[in-house]
Each structure stands twice: as structure tokens, then as C-alpha cells.
Structure 1
Amino acid sequence: MIYFVGAGPGDPELLTVKAQRLLQQADLVLYTGSLVPRPVLDCCRPDAVKADSAGMVLQQIVDLMVHHYRQGKLVVRLHTGDPALYGAIGEQMAALDQLGISYRVVPGVSSFLAAAAAVQREYTVPGGSQTVIITRLAGRTPVPPEQSLASLARHKASLAIFLSVGLIQQVQQELLQGYEATTPVAVVERVTWPQERIIRGNLGQLARLVEEAGITRTALILVGEFLAARGSSLLYDAGFAHGYRAGE
């Protein structure tokens, strides 16, 4: 079997139980060395083949997986975070589908969730934002015009921006078309890694703070009032009745 496995944000203790078990059993582990910390691979068998896919193209990745699969080996294609978000697994699955090869996808802890934990905030705040937008700035990978940062900013939702910190000036310019300059922001670099850094400020300071810190990659940009606001949920309010409790 071939498994596409979410490696989580970096901390090996944030691997799911299933992901850890598959890594312990795998004969081949394909991973991206620039994004998967070495400690995550420590739970692999010593005799397992560990191949860094950072320098490979799609056909090389597929050929390597298929070669081991046809030898009856267990293959783990390890993707950072959760494979469903910017995981680039679609083309790999399509290639396996064409060959009639079975595979499974194992979800992982996404970095946008780890980032919320790092800044100790909820994306959805009682009485505040009830919407979370996960997006990226258009670069070499295009983004539909109606999903531009400027368009999304007008919703004033809680925002988690991937793969965009290297274009921070443009990020700030587009966000200012919807959010106030005083809107809280946080940039979380290498979340859950030993090198994790968190920079906080407001949107008007965003580009300057990121450039002064020298952050150019592997960072999430969080934007929204959720970074400053804390609401009070009715769920545990003594006067709030629901199907499992009578209100006082």
C-alpha cells in the first residue's frame, strides 16, 4: 500500500498515532527535507529507505513509489501539515490512478492550527469572527481574481495566509484594501520547530516587522481581530439551556 501521510507542523509529538505507526512500519519514506524536520524521521525503521524528494520531479517521485509498491513494500509519502492544504498530492494521486495502484490519505495537524495554538487564540471568537479564511498570495501559482487577498480582506474574517511571507509588501498592500491599519497581525515562523519565532503587531507595521526580522519563508501570516479579542461563549453559561442541561 502507498500512504500519503500528514507529518504535522514539525514537532514529532504532533504526529498522529496512525502516522507514527506507518512511519515505524514503512519500507520507503519519501519526504521533503527542507520542510520535514529530522526528528520526525527518527521513528522510522533504521533499515527503511528514506528519500528526500526536494530535488525530484513528479515522475521520479511516482517511479520510486511504484517501484517499491510492486515489490510488496509499504510506502509512505510524507507531506508537511495536512496533505489537503497546499499538499501537491493531486497530481501524484492522478498518476497512481492511471496505473491502477491503490493508496490512502492520512490527515495531519495543519500548521494553521498549530499557529493558533502558538499565539493562544481562537480563530472563531464568540461575538466576533465566525469565519476562517485559509489562502495564499498569487505568485508563480496563480489565484482566481475573485480570491485575491484584496477581495478576501473585505470580509474582515480571521485570516491565515500560507506561502506568502516572501512577498510581504504586496501582502500588506492588498490587506489594507479591506482591513484597518490597526488590525492585529502575527507572523509565526517554523511553528512548533525549535527555531519557532512569533512576531506581533498591527497591519500597518506588517512589512517592516517581517523585513526587520529577516523572515523570508516557512511562516504563516495571521490577520484579524481574533488576535486581540476574547469573547465569552454561551455554551457553558449557567443560564444557557441546551439538550444536555437545563438553564438556571
Structure 2
Amino acid sequence: MEKVYFIGAGPGDPELITVKGQRIIKEADIIIYAGSLVPREVIECHKDGALIYNSATMTLEEVMDITINGIKSGKKVARVHTGDPSIFGAHREQMDILDENNIEYEVIPGVSSFLAAAASLKKEYTLPDVSQTVICTRLSGRTSVPQRESLESLASHQASMAIFLSVQMIDEVVKKLSVYYPEDTPIAVVQRASWKDEKKVIGILKNISELVKKEKINKTAQILVGNFLGNNYSKSKLYDKTFTHEYRKGKEDV
């Protein structure tokens, strides 16, 4: 029996899918892709005769019916998610249904939009003496967020933060972050990171809401906040000539 492949398609740029993910798409008999966020170009490498479905217009039941029937007919199924399916990907519920039906599956990771956003800004989340922690979160919307994970609570750590699915509530985001982050904390918003029409706004907590509204950014954007966006940090020990590790002796040891 064939397998179902959950594929992280990346943040938008068709070249940011993994080699393995692209190979499976080329081989698949059935492709179900999240067309609202995954560009059609990502799956244009499909073979002749492959059946293509856009899950943006489908329910979970419809997706799973096509998937299960496809596998039972001996077809290879590629379920293509945006970014990496493990982050706000809603693929756990699909895997559970496959388990119930004794259908084998594999997950192929992808590049998440929070990574593409940092790449676009040419920033590093984990700067020495600034932050060694990255928090990925969102505000409550149709999907609630546990109270213990409120934005105010997470902001108390002043770690590097990537906020998904929340730019349409930028005023509320700023209000909640301001409980712990100073008003001059650097913050950036990257809309459609890695897409040809990518847009980015860079500011501080005090003025970011105004800048975002001016650019009319109200969906498909990452909000990045933290001092990792600034310029003050300590150099890494990794390449420090005085730092010894198993692959290199420090200068004092030579």
C-alpha cells in the first residue's frame, strides 16, 4: 500500500521547498494543496495525469475521503501544506484519522514563514547575550490560545518572538507586548515573506501600528519582536580563536 506524504511547501518562494518534498510531488498520483497560501508554482512539477485538489475550498472530511480512497486505490498522495506543517498546520487531526484507518504516512518538513521573515530582514533570532529563545505564538482568534500562553505572559521573558496570524489585530498585539517590552523595542512586520510581492515594515513598538496601517498590511504577515532586531550583541564562541572544542584547539592550546 502507498503512503500519504505531508509536505511542508515552504513560505511561498517555489524554490524553498525541500528537494525531497519536490520529488514526492513529482511522483504523486493525487496532490491536495493549501491553495490559499501555497503558490500553484510549487506543484507545477506534477506528473501528467495527477489529480490536483485545492484544500482551501474543502472540509476536513472531503480532504480525508479523497486521501483514504486514493490510498486504497493504490495511489501515492501528497498533502501539501504551507510553511512547515508542524506549525499551525492542522495536520495532526489528519494523521489521527489515517491512524484510525491503518494508513501509513510520512511528514516532510519545510521552511516556516517565521524563518523566511528573519531571512528577509537578515536577522538572527538567537544572538549571544540578547536572546537564546524563540517563541512562536499568536493571538486568540477563531482558534483560542490557552490563558497560560497569553501574549502578555510570553512577553515577560523578552525573548525573540514570532507572532503568527495576528497582524489584523496589530493594536491589540502592541498593547499586550507593551506590558513588558519597552516602547523603543524593535519590531518588524513581514507580509508574504519570500513571495515576489513581499512587503516589510520596520519600526519600534511605539510606532509599528501606525506603519502597518499605512502600508495596509492586514493578513499573511509575521510580526517579529525583540532586541535580536537591534545591533547590540556579543560574538559567538563558536568561531572565537580562544575557544576550544572537539574540532579545534583554542589559541592558548596551540
> Aligned equivalents of 1:240 and 1:98: distance in 2?
52
Q: 1:128 aligns with which of 127, 130, 136?
A: 130
> Aligned equivalents of 1:38 and 1:92: distance in 2?
22
- Kindly report the root-mean-square deviation, in angstroms, between the aligned alpha carbons of the 2 structures: 1.0
Listed as ranges, the matches of 1:35-74 within 5 Å are 35-74=37-76
Amino acid at match of 1:68: G
Post-superposition offset of 1:80: 0.5
Match of 2:89 in 1: 87
Amino acid at match of 2:47: R
Q: Deviations over 1:123-166 (max 9, x none)?
A: 00012111110101111111111110011111000000011111
Match of 1:109 in 2: 111
> Aligned equivalents of 1:41 and 1:231: distance in 2?
43
Match of 1:219 in 2: 221
- Which secondary structure does the structure 2 equivalent of 1:86 belong to? coil
- Which secondary structure does the structure 2 equivalent of 1:54 belong to? helix
Amino acid at match of 1:244: Y
Match of 1:246 in 2: 249
- Which secondary structure does the structure 2 equivalent of 1:85 belong to? coil
Amino acid at match of 1:241: T
Q: 1:234 aligns with which of 213, 219, 237?
A: 237
For structure 2, the residue ranges without an aligned partner over 5 or more in a row are: none
User: Does 108-117 or 236-245 show the bigger shift?
Assistant: 236-245
Listed as ranges, the matches of 1:7-22 within 5 Å are 7-22=9-24
Post-superposition offset of 1:221: 0.3
Q: Deviations over 1:163-203 (max 9, x none)?
A: 11111111111010110110001101101110111110001
TM-score by length of 1: 0.97
Amino acid at match of 2:60: L
Amino acid at match of 2:172: Q
Confirm or deny that 1:155 pairs with 2:157. yes
% identity of equivalent residues:
52
Moved over 4 A (4+): none
Post-superposition offset of 1:33: 1.2
Post-superposition offset of 1:47: 2.0
Q: 1:199 aligns with which of 201, 206, 214?
A: 201
> Aligned equivalents of 2:70 and 2:169: distance in 1?
39
> Aligned equivalents of 2:221 and 2:10: distance in 1?
14
**Residue correspondences, number:** 248
Match of 1:183 in 2: 185
- Which secondary structure does the structure 1 equivalent of 2:142 belong to? coil
Amino acid at match of 1:195: D
TM-score by length of 2: 0.95
For structure 1, the residue ranges without an aligned partner over 5 or more in a row are: none
Post-superposition offset of 1:231: 3.1
- Which secondary structure does the structure 2 equivalent of 1:199 belong to? strand
> Aligned equivalents of 1:202 and 1:134: distance in 2?
19
Match of 1:173 in 2: 175
> Aligned equivalents of 1:63 and 1:177: distance in 2?
47
